[in-house]
Amino acid sequence: MIDHILLKVPPSLYTRTLTFYTAALAPLGYTKQLDFPNQAAGFGTSAQDAKFWIGATGEEGATSACHFAFRAKERGEVDRFYEEAVKAGAKGNGGPGIREMYHEGYYAAFVIDPVGNNLEVVDHGAR
């Protein structure tokens, strides 16, 4: 079981990345719960549940190529995530829709975040 994830970002992109994730994760009910100014911030539904972290610990000029998938409670959250993420500066990488190649009812959307990560939000539907 995963305890937490830290996304390392170059210090010069920290504020932009934090602003992006604050907007993009809001439709899922994830908010900034813990903050160490200009160093790191943890997102979740409570301070005890801050599982997704952004830290200004990356090297300047370094790029990232991770895939993160957040679970949505319903399809509307997937749609709202995609809309908010694109408004916040993400590049669309697959709009909301069914992805039957994964399984029946797999409804997801994909974006590329400000530091190059492939971010997904998925509703698995009734299985």
21: domain CATH number is 3.10.180.10
For the segment 1-37, what is each residue's pLDDT rounded down to a tens digit? 567 898 989 899 999 999 999 999 999 999 999 999 9
**Across 50-68, average pLDDT:** 81
The boundaries of the domain holding residue 71 are 5-123
Enumerate residues 6+ apart whose C-beta is below 8 A from 105: 98, 124, 125, 126, 127
Residue with tokens 């409570």: 46
Does the pTM surpass 0.95? The reply is no
For the segment 86-127, what is each residue's pLDDT rounded down to a tens digit? 999 999 999 999 999 888 999 999 999 988 888 999 999 865
> With bands split at pLDDT 50, 70 and 90, how would you rate the model's confidence at 57?
confident
Phi, psi of 39 (to 5 degrees): -125, -55
Look at the chain and report how many structural domains it folds into: 1
Q: Which of 28, 40, 12 is nearest to 84 (CA)?
A: 28
